[in-house]
Amino acid sequence: MKVLHLGVCSIALVSLVGCSAMGLGSKPIDYKAGAAQTPSIEVPPGLTAPQTDDTYKVEGAEGESVATYSAYAKDKSAPAAVHKEQAPTVLAPVKGVSIEHDGTKRYLKVDESAERVWPVVESFVRDAGFKIQSEDQAAGIIETDWAENRPKDGKDSGILTKIFNGLFSSGERNRFRIRLERVKDDGTNIYVTEYGQEEVLDSSGITTTWKMLPNDPELEAEMLQRLMVRFGANPDQAAVATAQGASASGSANLVQIFDGSSIIVINDAFDKSWRRVGLAIEKSNLVVEDKDREKGVYYVRTPEAKNGWLQKLEFWKDEDATQHFRVSVKDNGASCDVSMSDMNGENSAEARKQLQAIYKNINQ
């Protein structure tokens, strides 16, 4: 038995010695050393390489991948502060365009030359859906054609929704006159005047005629608001600027002088009085043919009558019923006198009537 046990131990000892001699002792085995490197799979012609799935990839601030959530949160915290600092201020001042007030009249002031402002205004009018009836770039005047209103349903009074597309007659129509005026420092003032008409039955009760309506300040204000946005203003700021009340201005009074005629006395400087008279002339449905600011004179006429075919049969009437007048604005320093006469210098009954209309629109 001892001999058998001794034999088994001898065999085990010989085995251990053999493994150590062959280098298989404590040294680790490198399984990669004998691995054969095979070429990558080639994509056959006509096929595209498969895309990797990035569904569970976590990206940092600059788009690089991150391994931990703490690194992801750290990367995201920095740009949040940057975005907060760069956020625009609400109702920030708009440089170059503003709503100004002259008495109760609003106008748009643009710090650009009339040559650069003109194409912007012209394209705005066309984009708003109005047809341009006449335009005179030298005089800075754009007049739209008549456009019919939508029925008054109380839903919206905006210009673009109030002016109808002509599918049926609503009995009311509007047109606009936009006037550009050069000012110092190469700027431009933009004035908008609205005209309205209503279709009414005449005395016969059969035919209808168009009756002039008072101008609508809300439509004028909305036109200026949309123009302000076209020149780059924020829509919210344009709405606030338009809604602000008009600043106080000099009063105007109709005074009868020694010869029985009347004049309008405006307690304001010549510059403001000249503009106020010009706007009142436009609202009085008179046409300015020419003006001489140095002499303080507007040369105006009544609008040409566009009679229907029934009126054309009345051959005994004068076809040209247009009347011409001169409106004078005299500078007295702190105030101005406004008078009106026909082309012969006489204070006719019609001249007095037109002066009354101008006075009414100055104080409107």
Does 341 or 151 have the greater pLDDT score? 341
Pairwise CA distance, residues 51 & 318, whole Å: 88
The residue type of 187 is G
Q: What is the pLDDT of residue 298?
A: 95
CA distance to 69, 70, 79, 147, per residue, from 82 (Å) = 21, 20, 5, 50
* Averaged pLDDT, 112-129: 93
327, amino acid identity = V
For the beta carbon of residue 4, count every other beta carbon within 10 angstroms: 7
Has residue 181 got a pLDDT over 80?
A: yes
User: pLDDT averaged over the chain?
Assistant: 74
Mean pLDDT over 114-134 rounds to: 93
Give me the residues paired with residue 338 across strands: 264, 329
Q: What is the pLDDT of residue 264?
A: 93
How many CB atoms are closer than 10 A to CB 342?
15
In this prediction, residues 213-229 reach a mean pLDDT of 89
Phi and psi angles of residue 307, each rounded to the nearest 5 degrees, phi first: -80, 155
Q: Which residue has the higher pLDDT, 75 or 176?
A: 176
Q: What is the pLDDT of residue 165?
A: 42
How large a percentage of the chain has pLDDT more than 70?
60
pLDDT in tens, 234-275: 888 888 777 765 444 567 888 877 677 889 999 888 988 999
Residues 296-305, mean pLDDT to the nearest whole number: 87
* Ramachandran class of 296: left when φ > 0, alpha when ψ lies in -120 to 50, beta otherwise: left
The least confident of 8-12, 53-57, 125-129, 306-310 is: 53-57
Among positive and negative, which fits the CA dihedral 129, 131, 137, 141? negative
Give the pLDDT band (50/70/90) at residue 57: low
Mean pLDDT calculated for residue range 151-169: 44
Q: How far apart are CA 221 and CA 213, in angstroms?
A: 17
| Confidence bin at 56 (pLDDT 50/70/90) | very low
* Run of H or E residues at 311: helix 309-312
The pLDDT of residue 256 is 79
Find how far residue 166's CA is from the centre of its chain: 25
pLDDT for position 251: 79
Say whether pLDDT at 361 is over 80.
yes
- Does the pLDDT value for residue 177 go beyond 90? yes
First to last CA, the chain: 137
pLDDT of res. 6: 57
| Residue count of the chain | 364
Is the pLDDT confidence value at 183 over 80? yes
Q: pLDDT at residue 192 above 90?
A: yes
Residue the block writes with tokens 């001249």? 351
Distance of alpha carbon 295 from alpha carbon 91, whole angstroms: 43
pLDDT band, very low/low/confident/very high, at 216 (cuts 50, 70, 90): confident
**pLDDT (tens digit per residue) in 333-355:** 878 999 999 988 888 889 999 99
The two structure tokens encoding residue 298? 């507007």
Is 168 a residue whose pLDDT tops 70? no
Helix (H) or strand (E) holding 339: strand 336-342
Residues 6 or more apart in contact with residue 316 via CB below 8 angstroms? none
Contact status, residue 193 vs residue 179, Cβ threshold 8 Å: yes
From residue 300, alpha-carbon distances to 163, 215, 328 in Å are 29, 19, 11
pLDDT-derived band at 280 (thresholds 50, 70, 90) equals: very high
Structural domains of the chain, ranges and CATH numbers in brackets: 92-246 (3.30.530.50), 249-305+317-364 (3.30.310.170)
* Residue 238 exposed, middle or buried by CB count within 10 Å (0-12, 13-18, 19+): buried
- For the cut 80, the answer to whether the pLDDT of residue 313 exceeds it is no
**What angle, 0 to 180 degrees and rounded to 10, lies between the N-to-C axes of helices 270-283 and 349-362?**
110
